[in-house]
Each structure stands twice: as structure tokens, then as C-alpha cells.
Amino acid sequence: MSALPGIDPSSAEPAHPPGRADPRTRRTDRWWLGPLITVVGLGLFLIYGLIRTFMNTAYWVPEYHYLAPFYSPCLSAACVPGASHWGQWLPAMGPFLPPPVIVLPFVFGFRLTCYYYRKAYYRSFWAAPPACAVAEPHRRYTGETRFPLVMQNVHRYFFYVALLVAAVLTYDTVIAFRGADGGFGVGLGSLLMVVNAVLLWTYTVSCHSCRHLIGGRINHFSKHPVRYWLWTKVSALNARHMQLAWASLLSVALVDLYVLLIAAGAFPDPRLFN
């Protein structure tokens, strides 16, 4: 094979110079910054979630019907009066099994098996690989064929549960437009819950499972104009799935924290109307 014009083959540096170990990466940028931010962000959310779950207090504001997202729906007999909008299906299970443990496993299951979050925590927590063109520490690649990663295949089923949870939180948002006198009212908490509900819905329907459910198994889009129109809209959201994942994660934590502070009496809810 002839050499490229203007290049002396004898002067080219070999891929692995003799006597030198194969470098981990030749990247000169801060490739580790992305995985580090992901570890910090998800780690803080998990810590907050664990603390909040076992606090088992300050999650209901009866004056304005604010219910913290981490405690919705509240289906246990241990729930405070007024917080169980859908009934108390289960008995009180003690301090080690507070009401959130009934629903949160399904919510976390949807996020943990989400296609975007797989990429996020595979790189940050599992280092498989930590970044493009960076060697991973694992000796061999098994993908999602072994436990526990094989459980990722149940994502489509968690999607249906996520739809129900989004619907419940939407109901919580509607009844949160309540005034101090029992009539219609708008507070800062009401508006924050609206933003949270919108972000949760857009994140949920932008899921790859939703996109496949709407547009899958169609050979001719021209014969299914309604499904094709829905598929284009979901596909547009799907392109922003990463941003929606982080935005909805942040909004859930912020609204939950806001309700916690209001319920604990840290400050009064700023009212825009009544």
C-alpha cells in the first residue's frame, strides 16, 4: 500500500509504542466532568428521597390541599387525615414501612429502567464506559443479559404504572387550587405543582416505550394518519428526553421540599388569590 502524499510512513508514531502501556485515553478534555455531575445529581436525589421517605411527616397541608409528591397516592392507614384521596387500602405497617414505600418502588423502577438514565448511570456509577474513547475497567461486556441489568427489559411495564402516577399527581394538582375559605384559590404551591405535573407528563410520554406503543407495528403511516401525527409529536419530545428527565426529577424534589416547608410552618404559602 502506497503512503499518503506528503507523509513519511517511517515518522508516524505507532499506535502502541514499544515498552509503553496502552494509555487509558488520549482525550485532553475534562471527559470525567459529565459522569461526576451525574453521580452528584442522582446521589443527592437518592439521599433526599431516602430521608424524606422515612420522615413520614410534613407531607400534607390541609388548608390548601397540598400533598407532597413522595407521598402520593397515600394508601396506608398511617396517612394523616385528608391525605388519602384514593382510600386507605393497606394497614399501617410501622415506621420501617412508611406510606411512600408502596408507590416509590414503581416510580423509581420506571426511571431506573429508562433508556436515558441507563446511559447516565452506566457511565457514572458503572463506568461502562465512563465516556467515549475511554476504556472501561470491566474485563468483558455482558450487556443487559445478566442479573440485575436483565431487569431493564421490564421498562415497558413500568411505563404503564408511570402513566397512572402522572394521572394521580395531576389530580393532586387540580385539588391544590383551593383557598383558605374552602373555595377556589391560587398559591405559589399550586403553580409549582402545575409545572411539576407538566414536566412529569412530558417526560413520561417522551419515553421510548410510549413512542413504540404509538408508532410501532405500522407498515404504512399513510393508513394511520392519527397515529402518525401522535408519533411525530412524541418523537419531538423524545429528542428532549434527557432534558425532560432531569427537569422532572428536579421539579419533583423541589415541590416535595416546598410542601414539606409549608407543612412544617417554615413560612406561609404566598397567595395570588384567596
Q: Is 61 helix (H, G, I), strand (E, B) or coil?
A: strand
Residue 253: pLDDT above 90? yes
Rounded mean pLDDT of 79-97? 90
Chain centre distance of CA 60:
23
Residue 128: pLDDT above 50? yes
List, in sequence order, every residue forming a beta bridge with 61; answer none if it has no partner.
66
Of 3-7, 99-103, 232-236, least confident by mean pLDDT is 3-7
Name the nearest CA neighbour of 202 among 171, 173, 257, 242: 242
Residue 105: pLDDT above 50? yes
Residue 12: pLDDT above 70? no
pTM value?
Answer: 0.83
pLDDT for the residue 140: 74
pLDDT for the residue 18: 47
pLDDT for the residue 22: 41
Residue 20: pLDDT above 80? no
Percent of the chain at pLDDT above 90?
Answer: 56
pLDDT for the residue 182: 85
Instruction: Count helices and strands (H / E) in the chain.
Output: 8, 4
pLDDT for the residue 10: 52
E strands within 83-212? 186-187
Q: φ and ψ at 99, to 5 degrees?
A: -50, -40
Residue 231: pLDDT band with limits 50, 70, 90: very high
Rounded mean pLDDT of 38-47? 93
Q: Are 86 and 103 in contact (CB under 8 A)?
A: no
Q: Are 29 and 133 in contact (CB under 8 A)?
A: no
Q: How many residues does the chain have?
A: 274
Q: pLDDT for 173-194, tens place per residue?
A: 999 999 988 899 999 999 999 9
* Domain spans in the chain, listed from the N-terminal domain onward: 30-273
pLDDT for the residue 6: 52
Q: Are 238 and 211 in contact (CB under 8 A)?
A: yes
Residue 5: pLDDT above 60? no
Name the nearest CA neighbour of 272 among 193, 195, 182, 187: 187
Name the nearest CA neighbour of 169 among 35, 67, 42: 67
Ramachandran quadrant class, 101 (left: phi over 0; alpha: psi -120 to 50; beta: rest): alpha
* Residues contacting residue 188 through CB under 8 Å, at least 6 positions apart: 258, 269, 270, 271, 272
Rounded mean pLDDT of 28-51? 90
Residue 142: pLDDT above 80? no
Of 105-119, 180-194, 197-211, least confident by mean pLDDT is 105-119
Distance, in Å, from the CA atom of 212 to the CA atom of 128, rounded to the nearest integer, reads 26
Residue 159: pLDDT above 60? yes
Following DSSP, what letter does each residue of 177-227 receive, concatenated?
-B-TTSSB-EEHHHHHHHHHHHHHHHHHHTSHHHHHHHHTT-S-GGG-HHH
Of the spans 16-20, 117-121, 133-137, 254-258, which averages the highest pLDDT?
Answer: 254-258
Indicate the pairing of strand 271-273 with strand 66-67.
unpaired
